[in-house]
Amino acid sequence: MTAVAPTDLLSASAVRAKADELLARAEAGELKHWRLDLSALAPCADYVAAIIRKRYPTLDVPFHARWRHFVFSGKDIWAEIRDAAAWPDAHARARAEFDLAITSVLLDAGAGGAWRYADSVSGVIASRSEGLALASLRLFEWGGFSADPSDALRADAEALARLDAAQLGNAFQVSVRNPLAGLEGRARLMKRLAAQVDVRSDLFARADRPRPGGLHDVLQARAHDSAVSAPAILELLLEAFGPIWDNRPALDGVALGDCWPVDGLGYVPLHKLSQWLAYSLIEPLERAGLRVTNVDGLTGLAEYRNGGLFVDAGVLAPRDESALMRTYDVGDGFVVIWRSLTIALLDRIAPLVRERLGVPAEDFPLARVLEGGTWAAGRAIAREKRADGSPPLLIHSDGTVF
């Protein structure tokens, strides 16, 4: 593993290449923990296509992004807030959307099955990703991330550094009866984000104060012919945020983030939250006048809904039948291999889903397959299999991965 350079692991192409390697090993029956049954992939594609048609009858599927989680019963809460605000220009709006997307995505790790958020404004009660999205949106709207009392819709390093677990727990309505998994980890992540925004003035500095939304200006400056590629967005995010992840592997002094060493397989890069964030920055960039190209250069997301779909549909099965009864750390080889195989299988299932829907790849990229899509299908099949809708794998949540 020491022959690998950190730069070899910090890209979407590295994630996809490793996932393809592990899938080839699975096809050859060479993986220690998992068995692969590709004959189950076609019925799985049928299931996903049916979910897409139910959720989007006209097949007008948006990209998989955090913005979808701000929509409840057809009401786009963030769009209403955004459109009611007075922005000096499109770039100021984009910086605010970067601030919101970055903080909200970084707070999006698995909430656990017991937590709920009751929104006093809309009356919505939401759980899991949607609940976390709504809670983080309200905290953002009310100035919880801002160091400027006159400008609530922003996130600043100064304010993020002050946010502690008690304050975050209060904003997210956490109590003994409403526990949120990984609360302390989420608060630490915000503080580490603040420290990184402070130290990397080349990426985050603004004329007034350092903020995550400063990355918008970097991407604008790096654009060619008013275009930036989606993989380039990810590479900037991995550079910008690599040091914020606590208890993650490092190589030659470079933090690797969501990238894990596995015995006999070397490093396995996944970068789930960073890719989720890259997808989520596409729309703000486009609203600010940039074209985002090569969206399919990003990979599918190695998280428990996509991965759970393949387990619950019988595409993947543990070699040890009792393995699903245990609880794992995120860096366990059993979990890491499952997540990497998920990425490769998303690439395999996407063309099958398009075939069933009768849509070409150029009109229905992977980001639409995910949204339509595999993520929703993973949630639906989990509810069919288990009363609480929990994923098939039990994983200790530290508030920073799932």
pLDDT of amino acid 1: 46
CA distance 377 to 365: 17
- pLDDT of 365 strictly over 90: yes
| Residues 86, 27 share a domain | no
What 3-state class would DSSP assign to 179? coil
pLDDT tens by residue, 98-119: 999 999 999 987 788 899 999 9
Same domain, 101 and 199: yes
Same domain, 216 and 70: yes
Q: Is a pLDDT exceeding 80 seen at residue 401?
A: no
Q: Residue 66 has what pLDDT?
A: 96
For the chain, how many structural domains are there in total? 2
Given a cut of 60, is residue 196 above it in pLDDT? Answer: yes
Is the pLDDT at 48 greater than 90, yes or no?
yes
Please check the confidence at residue 396 and state whether its pLDDT lies above 90: no
Kindly state whether residue 238 falls inside one of the protein's structural domains.
no
Distance CA 230, CA 291 (A): 10
Identity at 248, one-letter amino acid code: R
- Whether cis (ω within 30° of 0) applies to the bond prior to 373 is yes
Report yes or no on 151 lying in a domain: yes
| Range with the poorest average pLDDT among 12-26, 297-311, 388-402 | 388-402
Confidence of residue 225 (pLDDT cuts 50, 70, 90): very high
**Per the domain annotation, does 287 fall within a domain?**
no
Q: 266-304: b or e for each residue (b if 16 or more CB lie within 10 Å)? A: ebbbbbbbbbbbbbbbbbbbeebebebeebbbbbbbbbb
The structure's pTM equals 0.94
What pLDDT is attached to residue 112?
Answer: 82
Q: Report the pLDDT averaged over residues 140-152.
A: 95
Q: Final residue of a domain: which of 199, 222, 245?
A: 222
**Higher per-residue pLDDT: 68 or 401:** 68
Q: Is the pLDDT of residue 153 over 90?
A: yes
Give the mean model confidence (pLDDT) for residues 281-289: 97
**pLDDT above 70 for 272:** yes
Mean pLDDT of 307-324: 96
Q: CA 11 → CA 47, 238, 298, distances in Å?
A: 31, 8, 9
- What mean pLDDT, rounded, does the chain reach? 94
- Are 73 and 41 contained in the same domain? no
pLDDT score recorded for residue 22: 98
Claim to verify: residue 199 and residue 330 sit in the same structural domain: no
Domain that holds residue 301: 1-63+257-268+297-402
Domain check: are 39 and 86 in the same one? Answer: no
Helix axes 41-55, 375-385, angle to 10 degrees: 110
For 74-91, what is the mean pLDDT? 96
Q: For 153, which DSSP code?
A: S
Arithmetic mean of pLDDT, 195-220: 90
Residues 134, 17, single domain; the answer is: no
Strands (E), 58-143: 71-72, 75-76, 116-118, 125-127
Q: Each residue of 332-362: pLDDT tens digit?
A: 999 999 999 999 999 999 999 999 999 999 9
> Quick one: average pLDDT of 175-194?
93
Q: Is the domain of 95 the same as that of 195?
A: yes
Please check whether residues 308 and 352 belong to one and the same domain. yes
